[in-house]
């Protein structure tokens, strides 16, 4: 293990599925723990504090009051709590490792990061852009909006989480593995000038080169790097247990290579792995894949 990497990890489970508006990712944190996360990280040499789960209250019926911004109340509450805990753990100089849950939890994780870091960089691994607003979203599902919120664009109640006026800077934000963008997302990404490495760029440049460029973007003038990893960035062949699978994703080795290069660069200060859907999974394969990726990100070596 790289000796300068923070040896203390705080695991935070967020079994929230309201942002995806379908069941299954609520069991994600359990599935990831069951796949041997703690033992795996201890073997690398980390001291682990598992903070347990931030529980979400399920509505009595899945009847939606605000169809353009589904389950806003509860998603706001859970993310505020997550923000507080991530901020607290970073304040203790620990590494927050957040387990989803749907990707709306990135709103809480990143606003928590922003309690401590003024200029963090973020690498967003995803098949999707998750940069919709309630105006551009085709679904009203908040898990399609967290990147926009983190950059300061979206509903005022989501923007108010963490009470921080500090936002991510688009010039330190990178997306990798993208292959399914809604029309409004394409416009906004262009407008903000965000570096987007779609599968096309990965095919042409290769993952090593993509990571080299991405890492230079997220370290330029920043005081930390957060990894937001949506398991649907990986090809459904290796990660079938996700709610919104898209063919043509990262191979097993491309995903691991990205994590290994991040580990070698020793720049990552927090991470989240989201969208493991156990109902759709095959024998917990996607949770196992998530744990293996966390191992590579946090210092496991092939030799
Ligand atoms: N975190 C995710 N899996 N997001 C999928 C988003 C899909 C679609 N773009 C939407 O806004 O609804
Ligand atoms: Mn996705
Ligand atoms: Mn996502």
One-character DSSP codes across 138-154:
SS--GGGSHHHHHTT-S
Quote ipTM for the complex.
0.98
Establish whether residue 230 lines the binding site of ligand 1, counting it when its CB lies within 6 angstroms of any ligand atom. yes
**What does the pLDDT read at residue 166?**
78
The question of whether 128 is a catalytic residue gets the answer: yes
Residue identifier of the C-alpha nearest atom 8 of ligand 1:
144
**What does the pLDDT read at residue 62?**
65
* Number of residues written out for the chain: 303
Q: How many angstroms does the Cα of residue 106 sit away from the middle of ligand 3?
A: 9
Q: Model confidence at 3, in pLDDT bands (50, 70, 90)?
A: very low
Rounded mean pLDDT of 16-21?
Answer: 96
The question of whether 232 is a catalytic residue gets the answer: yes
230 annotated to a ligand binding site: yes
Reply yes or no on whether the pLDDT at 216 is more than 80.
Answer: yes
Cis peptide before 104 (omega within 30 of 0): no
Least-confidence region, from 5-9, 28-32, 283-287:
5-9
Reply yes or no on whether the pLDDT at 233 is more than 50.
Answer: yes
What are the beta bridge partners of residue 270? 226
Reply yes or no on whether the pLDDT at 5 is more than 70.
Answer: no
Establish whether residue 21 lines the binding site of ligand 1, counting it when its CB lies within 6 angstroms of any ligand atom. no
Reply yes or no on whether the pLDDT at 79 is more than 70.
Answer: yes
Beta strand ranges found along 44-90 (DSSP E): 47-53
Establish whether residue 104 lines the binding site of ligand 1, counting it when its CB lies within 6 angstroms of any ligand atom. no
Q: Which of 242, 27, 2 minimizes the C-alpha distance to 127?
A: 242
Instruction: Please name which ligand lies nearest the alpha carbon of 229.
Output: 3
Rounded mean pLDDT of 201-226?
Answer: 98
Reply yes or no on whether the pLDDT at 4 is more than 60.
Answer: no
Ligand 1 atom at minimum distance from 232 CA: 3
H-only helix segments in 156-284: 156-159, 183-192, 199-205, 207-219, 252-265
Ligand 1 atom at minimum distance from 140 CA: 12
CB 242 within 8 A of CB 280: yes
Reply yes or no on whether the pLDDT at 236 is more than 90.
Answer: yes
**What does the pLDDT read at residue 59?**
76
Establish whether residue 144 lines the binding site of ligand 1, counting it when its CB lies within 6 angstroms of any ligand atom. yes
Q: Which tokens belong to 240?
A: 């079938």
**What does the pLDDT read at residue 152?**
97
Relative orientation angle of helices 72-91 and 106-116, to the nearest 10 degrees: 30
**What does the pLDDT read at residue 64?**
72
**What does the pLDDT read at residue 87?**
97
The question of whether 143 is a catalytic residue gets the answer: yes
Instruction: Please name which ligand lies nearest the alpha carbon of 249.
Output: 2
Rounded mean pLDDT of 41-60?
Answer: 93
The question of whether 21 is a catalytic residue gets the answer: no
Q: Model confidence at 1, in pLDDT bands (50, 70, 90)?
A: very low
**What does the pLDDT read at residue 2?**
43
Q: Model confidence at 234, in pLDDT bands (50, 70, 90)?
A: very high
Cis peptide before 101 (omega within 30 of 0): yes
Catalytic entry in 26, 89, 130, 272: 130
What the chain holds in terms of domains, given with CATH numbers, is: 8-298 (3.40.800.10)
**What does the pLDDT read at residue 58?**
80
Mean per-residue pLDDT of the chain: 95
């Amino acid at each position: 293990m790289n000796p300068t990497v923070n040896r203390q990890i705080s695991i935070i489970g967020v079994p929230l599925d309201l942002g995806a508006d379908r069941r299954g990712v609520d069991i994600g944190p359990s599935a990831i723990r069951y796949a041997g996360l703690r033992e795996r990280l201890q073997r690398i040499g980390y001291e682990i504090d598992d903070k347990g789960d931030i529980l979400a209250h399920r509505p009595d019926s899945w009847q939606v009051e605000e169809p353009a911004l589904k389950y806003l109340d509860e998603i706001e509450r859970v993310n505020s709590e997550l923000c507080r805990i991530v901020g607290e753990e970073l304040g203790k100089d620990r590494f927050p490792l957040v387990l989803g849950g749907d990707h709306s939890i990135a709103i809480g994780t990143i606003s928590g990061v922003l309690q401590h870091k003024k200029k963090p960089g973020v690498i967003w691994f995803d098949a999707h852009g998750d940069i919709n607003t309630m105006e551009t979203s085709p679904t009203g599902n908040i898990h399609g909006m967290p990147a926009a919120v983190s950059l300061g664009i979206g509903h005022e109640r989501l923007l108010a989480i963490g009470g921080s006026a500090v936002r991510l800077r688009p010039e330190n934000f990178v997306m990798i593995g993208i292959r399914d963008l809604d029309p409004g997302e394409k416009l906004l990404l262009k407008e903000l000038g965000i570096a987007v490495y779609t599968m096309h760029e990965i095919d042409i440049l290769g993952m090593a080169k993509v990571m080299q460029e991405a890492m230079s973007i997220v370290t330029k003038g920043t005081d930390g790097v957060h990894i937001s990893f949506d398991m649907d960035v990986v090809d459904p062949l290796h990660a079938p247990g996700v709610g919104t699978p898209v063919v043509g994703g990262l191979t097993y080795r491309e995903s691991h290579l990205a994590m290994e290069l991040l580990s070698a660069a020793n720049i990552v200060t927090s991470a989240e792995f989201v969208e493991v859907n156990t109902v759709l999974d095959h024998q917990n394969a996607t949770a196992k894949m998530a744990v293996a990726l966390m191992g590579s990100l946090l210092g496991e070596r092939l030799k």
